[in-house]
Amino acid sequence: MAFMSCIHNLEFSGTRRRRRCLRLSLSLGLAALTAGLLLGCTPPKEDLSLPAQIGPWQRSAETPIDPATFPDALRRLDAIRGVRASYSSPGFSVQATVYEMPSPTSAFEAVQTYPRHAGEFYFQKGASFVVLGLAELPIEARRPFLLDFQKATVPDGAEAKQN
């Protein structure tokens, strides 16, 4: 507002007001330049990856998911990227899919709006939306896998504790 007032009154004011307007313009320009430099200095995001081992389960495959193939509910929430992994244990296999969302709020909304499928379990972990395909697991093995998965993944998991 002050900047607009300075520009409007520049022609009709005295020397003191011109100096104030010039200082304000330089200050705003410097602030914009500083903000641009700080935003440019943010480190690049690491690739989304899942742990190699979750309790007794070993990751047998991991593939990134093309954002064009994200479900509509997640594209609407501006999901950033996703990864799918298979975890194997003798006689069983579990599919884990993690979508990185722009914020914890959008991850929470994904939990609320994602279409439900039988045999899948959904939850939010920080700014991630997680889908676990537990249909192949016996009911008594689902809770232990889920708890191990939550302990092993960031932001609360082993990788976060090492940093």
Do 59 and 29 fall into the same domain?
Answer: no
- Does residue 140 form part of some domain? yes
Do 115 and 35 fall into the same domain?
Answer: no
Q: Which string of b and e fits 32-43 if b means at least 16 CB within 10 Å?
A: eeeeeeeeeeee
Do 64 and 96 fall into the same domain?
Answer: yes
Q: List the domain range (segments joined by +) for residue 30.
A: 2-40
| Tens-place pLDDT, residues 80-135 | 999 999 999 888 889 999 999 999 999 999 999 999 898 899 999 999 999 999 98
Do 63 and 122 fall into the same domain?
Answer: yes
- Does residue 107 form part of some domain? yes
Do 13 and 63 fall into the same domain?
Answer: no
CA 8 – CA 1 distance, rounded (Å): 11
Question: Tokens in use for 21?
Answer: 């307007």
Global confidence as pTM: 0.66
- Does residue 47 form part of some domain? no
Do 73 and 16 fall into the same domain?
Answer: no
- Does residue 45 form part of some domain? no
CA 10 – CA 73 distance, rounded (Å): 51
Helices (H) and strands (E) in the chain, counts: 6, 6
Instruction: Quickly list H helices, 70-103.
Output: 72-76
List the beta bridge partners of residue 95: 86, 133
Do 158 and 89 fall into the same domain?
Answer: yes
- Does residue 105 form part of some domain? yes
Give the dihedral of Cα atoms 115, 117, 120, 125; nearest 10 deg.
0
| Tens-place pLDDT, residues 15-57 | 666 666 666 565 655 555 555 544 444 433 445 678 899 888 9
